[in-house]
């Protein structure tokens, strides 16, 4: 392979879909009403799953319960059974336009943080996973982990989660 040849696989971090956000801004996936608040300077930096960036002081946000696998299953007709889970995510309380045309390739990743990449099959069952200690070369590290995941033809998508709190960060689907 020469220096101009690339083996890089392109993977796209997917934010929470707009339709789900509209519902979550009313009632979350645990059945609780959305409770907006203004982000403080002291708390700024929480990961927003609507636009895949960190919060800034003064923004109106909410912490809601989100069930990404349940929502994916409703979209595809899958039956994930006991693998369905829900957890806390931060979202803007008003539509924000999402990550825009040029979102960060792999948001919420900086060298040295731990992430779990959980694999799922087309039925919504866990098909393996691994932890990644994010390397200095963030994109290369995630590209390798996603290429490894999607080398298994049974893997339909992966969820990236924070190890510290187990929070869902974003989804990556099998490349087309």
Task: Evaluate whether residue 8 is within a structural domain.
Answer: no
Task: Evaluate whether residue 101 is within a structural domain.
Answer: yes
Task: Evaluate whether residue 68 is within a structural domain.
Answer: yes
- Is 63 exposed, middle or buried, given 0-12, 13-18 or 19+ CB atoms closer than 10 A? middle
0.85 exceeded by pTM: yes
In eight-state DSSP terms, residue 86 is: -
- The pLDDT of residue 6 is above 50: no
Q: Which domain holds residue 102?
A: 18-173
Euclidean distance between CA atoms 16 and 171, whole angstroms: 8
Euclidean distance between CA atoms 103 and 29, whole angstroms: 26
Q: Which of 20-29, 32-41, 81-90, 96-105 bottoms out in mean pLDDT, i.e. has the lowest?
A: 96-105
Task: Evaluate whether residue 1 is within a structural domain.
Answer: no
Give the per-residue pLDDT at 2.
35
Euclidean distance between CA atoms 83 and 81, whole angstroms: 5
Give the per-residue pLDDT at 9.
54
Task: Evaluate whether residue 43 is within a structural domain.
Answer: yes
Task: Evaluate whether residue 5 is within a structural domain.
Answer: no
- The pLDDT of residue 93 is above 80: yes
Number of domains in the chain: 1
* Cα-trace Rg, the chain: 16
In eight-state DSSP terms, residue 81 is: G
- The pLDDT of residue 8 is above 50: no
Confidence of residue 142 (pLDDT cuts 50, 70, 90): very high
Euclidean distance between CA atoms 15 and 12, whole angstroms: 10
Task: Evaluate whether residue 93 is within a structural domain.
Answer: yes
- The pLDDT of residue 7 is above 60: no
Confidence of residue 175 (pLDDT cuts 50, 70, 90): confident
Task: Evaluate whether residue 12 is within a structural domain.
Answer: no
- The pLDDT of residue 171 is above 50: yes
- The pLDDT of residue 100 is above 90: no
């Amino acid at each position: 392979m020469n220096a101009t040849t690339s083996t890089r696989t392109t993977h796209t971090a997917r934010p929470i879909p707009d339709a789900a956000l509209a519902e979550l801004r009313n009632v979350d996936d645990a059945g609780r009403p959305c409770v907006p608040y203004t982000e403080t300077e002291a708390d700024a930096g929480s990961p927003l799953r609507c636009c895949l960036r960190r919060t800034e002081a003064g923004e109106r946000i909410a912490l809601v319960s989100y069930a990404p696998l349940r929502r994916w299953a409703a979209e595809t007709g899958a039956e994930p059974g006991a693998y369905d889970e829900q957890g806390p995510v931060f979202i803007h309380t008003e539509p924000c336009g999402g990550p825009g045309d040029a979102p960060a390739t792999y948001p919420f990743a900086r060298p040295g943080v731990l992430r779990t990449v959980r694999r799922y099959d087309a039925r919504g069952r866990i098909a393996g996973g691994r932890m990644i200690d994010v390397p200095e070369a963030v994109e290369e590290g995630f590209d390798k982990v996603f290429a490894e995941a999607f080398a298994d033809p049974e893997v339909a998508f992966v969820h990236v989660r924070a190890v510290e709190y187990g929070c869902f960060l974003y989804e990556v689907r099998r490349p087309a």
